[in-house]
Every structure is written in C-alpha cells, then in structure tokens.
Amino acid sequence: MVSSYSDRYGRDVLAQSPHPKRPVSTEQPAEPGLVVEDVQTGFCGAVVEVDKHGVILEDRHGKRRAFPLGPGFWIDGKPVALVRPTAPRQAGRMVSASGSVAVVNHRARTARESRIYVEGKHDAELVEKVWGHDLRVEGVVVEELGGADDLLAAVDDFGPGPGRRLGVMLDHLVAGTKESRIADGVRSGPHAESVLIVGHPYVDVWQAVRPSVLGLPAWPDVPKGVPWKEGVIARLRWGIEPWEAWERILGAVRTYTDLEPALLGRVEELIDFVTDPSPDHP
C-alpha cells in the first residue's frame, strides 16, 4: 500500500546546514524511471507516478512510497528538487516498451471482464514491464495461475462466455508435455470458444529474455532432474538467490527487443483475443 503524502520538506533540508559552501539543489523533472533517494528516510526508488500531490517512488523490491515534490532528494550524490515534468514535445509518435504507439495523457480504462492468466509471478512481471502501457489502455488485467495443474478448475471458476473471454499463457507448451495435455483438455471443453490457450517453448520464462541482454552467449543447459532456476544460477556462478537473479534479469529488460519472438507473438495474440470487438465480446 502506498503511504499518504506528507509535507516534510517545507524548505530544502540542505538549507539547514550552516556550511557556507553547501551544495544547492537543482531542479529535476520527475520523469518515470528516474531513480532518486529521499534524504531524510534513505528510501531509494524509481519514479512511477506523478500527480497533483507529489511523486510515488518504487524500490527494487516493489515497495512504493509517496513524497511531496520539491527539494530533499539525491541523484548520484547531488541534491535535487523534483518538479512536475512538462509534456514532451515530440516531432514523431511516442512508442511504448512493447513497440506500440504510446497513448499520452491517457487515464487507465475500467478493467474489462476478460482476463489474461499467466503461470507465475515472474511471467506476470515480465508482461507488465513490456506491455503494461498497452494493458492499461485496453483495460486488461493479468493474473497469476500459480501453475498449470489447476487450469481446468481455474477456467470453470472464471466462467468464460460472451463478453467474458479468457486468455492463458503456459510455460513449456510443447507436444507431449503435461502442459499440452492440460491445454487440450480445456480446448475440448465447454468453454472452448471463449478461451485461448497459447504458450512458449521455454522451461521457464527466464529463457524468454534474450541472453545477450545479460551479456551471455546463451542460457546454460540444465540436466533433467535439476531445478532449472537453481541450475542456471549455479552454472553462471552468480552465487545469489533465485529472486535476486530474477531482479537482475528483469532489470535488464527495457523493450520488446530484449525478448524472444516466441514469447512476443504469444502475448500479442492473447491481448488481441481478449480485446476482440466481435459480437460476443463488447
């Protein structure tokens, strides 16, 4: 939960210093993605939202806090005063991380009844990072399945039908796998017309990130029977926990060009399906 704004910076905290050569805060537009540190609390995060009250920062663990605009922040050890950014003047069209034309000054649409399900947290975070803008414009919510085993029950609980479509993306959806058998069970069921199941060929969504983005020639081979994430970390000698490895991987992704085509096409297909303005889907 984001904390409420508090006007703790009635004046520049640096102005309280009696040192005659203290640095002066320079104005810095609070552009999305800008990383700053709050002087008083030490909270460090990226700008994710700016409104009439102030700025919201998100740290690397996903925690968000709200602060008033103005002085009281550091960037690379230098004092800055955050100000509301001005609308950019672009000669051409702005493009989102997914490669689509960005809709400027657009308020998120009320969520559709249709949904997209992905297997786990990492899948959802990757989709959000690249397609988040598009999803908010279209009013599409992405939810985690927590695994494919209970997909049949999840589909029944969702209750697909006219105006209520469900798109599902599964990991490792290749012929002969458990995932393919589960998908076939849904496709032959009563909700077939209102459910689209697609998948990528990777054991884990980590592999959908191009290894070159991380400076790797290729993802390492992991023997069967070895947990894939742990096997990758061991072979790369990263010496960190899986959640830390994922932060490193996700942090390297900037746009759709950092992902493999086998994932790109599937996500676009799902978005098109759940937003299709056909007669059974308003």
For the stretch 36-91, pLDDT in tens is 888 888 888 888 888 766 888 887 777 878 888 889 898 877 899 998 887 654 44
Residue 225 has pLDDT above 50, yes or no: yes
Residue 58 is predicted with a pLDDT of 80
Residue 95 has pLDDT above 50, yes or no: yes
Helix 242-252 with 121-138: angle, nearest 10 deg: 40
Q: What is the CATH topology of the domain spanning 115-209+253-274? A: Rossmann fold (3.40.50)
Q: What angle do CA 248, 250, 254 make, to 5 degrees?
A: 120
Domain ranges of the chain: 13-83, 115-209+253-274
Residue 4 has pLDDT above 70, yes or no: no
More confident residue, 76 or 277: 76
Closest CA to 57 of 71, 40, 38: 38
Q: What predicted TM-score, i.e. pTM, was given to this entire model?
A: 0.61
Over residues 115-136, the mean pLDDT reads: 90
Residue 78 is predicted with a pLDDT of 85
What contacts 24+ positions apart, CB below 8 Å, involve 45-53? 47/82, 50/84, 50/85, 53/5
